[in-house]
């Protein structure tokens, strides 16, 4: 199969779909790889590095899309890429379609087969292609919150861990999955007072054991959410219902009862965000203020640390990408975890959660594969 890697063009997105090391693996498995010139610039990989790995360098995204059976990317296609996608082409990337009807419409119209990293599953019930970026984003969330808490940035003027004799920041993490756990680890490490709110009691038990009493865990109810959010200096939004739009846990009305200068980092923004007042921002202009509360809602946080992120992402995507390259759509049909990743096929939506969030019909895979 011919695999194509265009350069990422989302604002300040420096990751790359395939690293030179991953290209070697595809080439070793007898696949051809074409890479857009400068696609690896963000991780310091030159065109020559890709040539040495066995890739052919092409001058434009148009050429890459035109000559590939499968496109491996990082972020959802941007408007200029929509028209380059072809019928029967496989697209393997993050999509986050639930809160993005325009993207869904374009993918359906293209006739392509789109596998979304964020809904591919594993045998343990996890999301193996989302997890590495959630690890990165969770850790970055605390760095972002620390910067936004500074007075000149509009924040409360608080040091995350305080100093001896002074109250540290109160950090409340909504959702104790991968993002939430990694955010909590960073916040605990800095000396903050950390509470994790989740609606899964088994998960709260695991977190209690993992952190050995260094975080408070709370079961998510309206009362608990209000009490915790109103007393917080930092709230991290890290909930996920796979494939679906994020539940709105914090309304605009609640902001007026929060501490002025408190910081919201809505990591779940790629699924629409869990604060009513969240809207996607970019690394170029990451924060804005509503009712005295600083909002940070960057939808591609890991793009800021592309060396770490591209490596971690490629480690996770490689076995799945190779399976598709080796077997084509048959790989999706025979592997339930890749099947969970299939969002769009030949003009139909195949993910129940995505279709429900978009209010569109869902076609089971048996129908679309026929």
Which segments are annotated as binding site? 15, 75, 134, 198, 203, 220, 239-240, 267-270, 279, 298-301
Among 2, 150, 199, 216, which residue sits at the site for ligand NAI (rule: CB under 6 A)? Answer: 199
Collect contacts of 218-223 with beta carbons under 8 A, ≥24 apart.
Answer: 220/174, 220/249
Q: Does 33 bind ligand NAI (CB under 6 A)?
A: no
94, 105, 230, 252, 334 from 87: Cα distances, Å: 19, 14, 50, 42, 22
- d(CA 316, CA 86) in angstroms, rounded, equals 26
Read off the tokens for 41: 């610039």
Provide the sign of the torsion angle of the four alpha carbons 106, 109, 114, 120, taken in this order. Answer: positive
Residues 80-119 contacting ligand NAI, CB under 6 A: 118
Q: Does 8 bind Mg ion (CB under 5 A)?
A: no
Read off the tokens for 176: 């104790």
Among 299, 304, 312, 338, which residue sits at the site for Mg ion (rule: CB under 5 A)? Answer: 299
Residue 125, helix vs strand vs coil:
coil
Residues 296-315 contacting ligand NAI, CB under 6 A: 298-302
302: closest CA among 101, 26, 43?
43
Is 337 an annotated catalytic residue? no
Of the residues 270, 295, 337, 345, which is catalytic? 270
Of 22 and 178, which CB lies nearer to ligand NAI in the complex structure?
178
Is 270 an annotated catalytic residue? yes
Residues 237-276 contacting ligand NAI, CB under 6 A: 238-241, 246-247, 267-271
Q: Does 317 bind ligand NAI (CB under 6 A)?
A: no
- d(CA 164, CA 166) in angstroms, rounded, equals 6
Interface contacts to ligand PYR, rule CB under 6 A = 94, 118, 130, 133, 270, 300, 302
Interface contacts to ligand NAI, rule CB under 6 A = 118, 127, 130-131, 133-134, 137, 174-180, 197-200, 203, 220, 238-241, 246-247, 267-271, 298-302
| Catalytic residue set | 96, 270
């Amino acid at each position: 199969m011919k695999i194509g890697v265009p350069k990422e063009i989302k604002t300040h997105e420096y990751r790359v779909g395939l690293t030179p090391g991953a290209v070697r693996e595809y080439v070793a498995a007898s696949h051809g790889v074409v890479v857009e010139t400068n696609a690896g610039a963000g991780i310091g990989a030159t065109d020559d590095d890709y040539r040495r790995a066995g890739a052919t360098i092409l001058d434009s995204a148009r050429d890459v899309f035109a000559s590939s059976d499968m496109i491996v990317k990082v972020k959802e296609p941007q408007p200029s890429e929509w028209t380059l996608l072809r019928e029967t082409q496989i697209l393997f990337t993050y999509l986050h379609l639930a809160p993005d009807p325009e993207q869904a419409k374009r993918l359906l119209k293209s006739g392509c087969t789109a596998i979304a990293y964020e809904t591919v599953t594993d045998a343990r019930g996890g999301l193996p292609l989302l997890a590495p970026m959630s690890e990165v984003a969770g850790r970055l969330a605390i760095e972002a919150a620390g910067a936004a808490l500074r007075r000149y940035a509009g924040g409360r003027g608080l040091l995350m861990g305080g100093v001896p004799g002074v109250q540290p920041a109160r950090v409340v993490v909504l959702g104790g999955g991968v993002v939430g756990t990694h955010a909590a680890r960073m916040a605990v490490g800095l000396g903050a007072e950390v509470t994790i709110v989740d609606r899964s009691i088994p998960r709260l038990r695991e977190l209690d054991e993992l952190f050995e009493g260094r975080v408070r865990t709370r079961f998510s109810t309206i009362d608990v959410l209000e009490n915790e959010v109103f007393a917080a200096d930092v709230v991290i939004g890290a909930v996920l219902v796979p494939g679906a739009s994020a539940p709105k846990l914090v309304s605009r009305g609640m902001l007026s009862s929060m501490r002025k200068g408190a910081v919201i980092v809505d990591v779940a923004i790629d699924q629409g965000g869990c604060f009513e007042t969240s809207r996607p921002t970019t690394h170029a202009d990451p924060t804005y203020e509503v009712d005295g509360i600083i909002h940070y809602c960057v939808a591609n946080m890991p793009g800021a640390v592309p060396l770490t992120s591209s490596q971690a992402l490629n480690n996770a995507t490689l076995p799945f990408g190779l399976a598709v390259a080796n077997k084509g759509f048959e790989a999706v049909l025979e592997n339930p975890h890749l099947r969970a990743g299939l969002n769009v096929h030949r003009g139909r939506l195949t993910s129940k959660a995505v279709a429900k969030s978009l209010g569109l019909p869902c076609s089971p895979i048996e129908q679309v594969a026929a």
